[in-house]
Amino acid sequence: MNSVFRVTALAMALVMAPAISHAQARHVSRTASPQASVATLPNAAVADGEVRALDRAAGSIVIKHGPLMALNMGPMTMEFVAKDPALLAKVKVGDRVRFTPAQAKDGTLLVTSLVVASN
């Protein structure tokens, strides 16, 4: 009996763990873009995303992102150009990242900061 209970408890813990971390991730993204900084500095709101592809030679990165209020953009997977190619040195495909999207004067969508999100 006792060992059956332990196995059940372990299974439940394994099922619950991803749900909890997902809820936390949602909470983080909900609080990540204070209205004040969106209003005063439209291109500088930090966003959350997941790296889907990388081209370090070209200095480009494909990020799956949620809504980007600052750029009036819904959730999508899209390519950004790294403002500084060195930003791409520490990330890899599959990483969850926090990044700052910005639009250059010629319309190019840039990433001006990029860090791997701590889980």
By CB under 5 A, name the binding residues for Cu ion. Answer: 73, 76, 78
Give 109 or 117: the residue with its C-beta nearer to Cu ion.
109
Among all residues, whose Cβ is closest to Cu ion? Answer: 78
* Least Cβ distance, residue 65 to Cu ion (angstroms): 6
Encoded tokens for 88: 């791409």
**Pairing relationship of beta strands 109-116 and 60-65 according to DSSP bridges:** unpaired
Q: Are 57 and 89 in contact (CB under 8 A)?
A: no
* Least Cβ distance, residue 78 to Cu ion (angstroms): 4
Encoded tokens for 84: 């500084």
Distance (Å, whole) CA 74 – CA 42: 15
Give 38 or 78: the residue with its C-beta nearer to Cu ion.
78
* Least Cβ distance, residue 73 to Cu ion (angstroms): 4
Give 59 or 99: the residue with its C-beta nearer to Cu ion.
99
Q: Are 43 and 102 in contact (CB under 8 A)?
A: yes
* Least Cβ distance, residue 10 to Cu ion (angstroms): 40
Which residues touch 90 (CB under 8 Å, ≥6 apart)? 115, 116
Give 13 or 46: the residue with its C-beta nearer to Cu ion.
46
